[in-house]
Amino acid sequence: MKKDIDIPKVKDVYVAAVFELNEDYNTHDWNIYIINANNTPIETVLVIAQGYTENKMTAAMRKTVKIIPAKGFAKIEYIDQSVFGLDNFFTITYFLENKMYDKRFEFPRNTIREDEMATIPVMPQKGILAL
């Protein structure tokens, strides 16, 4: 039965940590974004985020984004530096052209750092892509 299920491979969808100015508080904060580098919008984007180590686990955060346009992005959440010592994962499920896609993206512990920022797809800011 499992061999009959078609699970398409996720392409051109990314999760990134971006260090940016928070104009309300005049601070620089890390935020998590979903990036859609496809030429087609992705729809009904479901996100589950959680951090963990061998001894700890954060509460799961769940969010839905109705649509992310082609070559677009959406902010998912602020991520506090206190959880950078955890392995942080983001499970993303979405629909593209009436097919469901699913992938788990992960930021291994201590990989979200300013000195690791690089160019990321679609967005003008630099950031760190999840694995």
Give the tokens for residue 106. Answer: 């992960």
Beta carbons of 73 and 123 less than 8 angstroms apart: yes
pLDDT of residue 109: 96
pLDDT of residue 120: 97
- Main-chain dihedrals φ then ψ at residue 2, nearest 5 degrees: -60, -35
pLDDT of residue 72: 98
Residue 28 CB coordination number (10 Å) = 10
User: What's the CATH fold of domain 2-129?
Assistant: Immunoglobulin-like (2.60.40)
Give the tokens for residue 42. Answer: 């992705």
Quote the pTM value.
0.92
pLDDT of residue 4: 67
pLDDT of residue 6: 75
pLDDT of residue 92: 97
For the chain, the domains span 2-129
pLDDT of residue 2: 61
| Residue stretches of the chain with pLDDT short of 50 | none
pLDDT of residue 40: 97
Give the tokens for residue 51. Answer: 């951090």
